[in-house]
């Protein structure tokens, strides 16, 4: 199963060539649901399989994009209450290795 989501980051600060830009990013993230071997009854692991966000600034497009599939799911979605059903999610904030780091790119519009 895969979970597609929209994402927005308003007033995100980006430093570029000595200037700080305040950008409004929009885009998407897609996560694949995997079994959580530590708690298979009440939780699942979420693996990022697609990430892309873009913003416009000063005649250029800034794009953040995942360039590889996340091989080690770090986020978890768990059932926190059985009735009525309720769940909680924890997303990892660890930086991926350099080969999977998000890439910033600029191109004139």
| 63 in a structural domain | yes
Burial of 57 (0-12, 13-18, 19+ CB in 10 A): middle
| pLDDT the model gives residue 94 | 43
The one-digit pLDDT tens for each residue of the chain (109 residues) are 898 999 999 999 988 888 888 999 999 999 888 888 888 888 888 888 889 999 988 788 889 888 776 667 677 777 777 777 676 776 654 444 333 333 344 444 3
Say what the pTM is. 0.65
Say if 62 falls within a structural domain. Answer: yes
User: Domain residues for 28?
Assistant: 2-92
pLDDT at residue 90, rounded to an integer: 67
- In total, how many domains does the chain have? 1
Is residue 99 included in any domain, yes or no?
A: no
Any domain includes 31: yes
Q: Are 34 and 73 in contact (CB under 8 A)?
A: yes
């Amino acid at each position: 199963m895969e979970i597609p989501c929209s994402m927005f980051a308003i007033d995100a600060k980006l430093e570029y060539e000595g200037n700080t830009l305040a950008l409004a990013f929009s885009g998407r993230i897609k996560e694949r649901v995997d079994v959580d071997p530590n708690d298979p009854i009440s939780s699942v692991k979420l693996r990022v399989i697609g990430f892309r966000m873009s913003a416009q600034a000063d005649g250029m497009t800034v794009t953040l994009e995942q360039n590889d599939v996340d091989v080690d799911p770090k986020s978890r979605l768990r059932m926190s209450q059985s009735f009525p059903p309720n769940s909680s999610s924890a997303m990892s904030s660890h930086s991926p290795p350099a080969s999977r780091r998000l890439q910033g790119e600029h191109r004139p519009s």
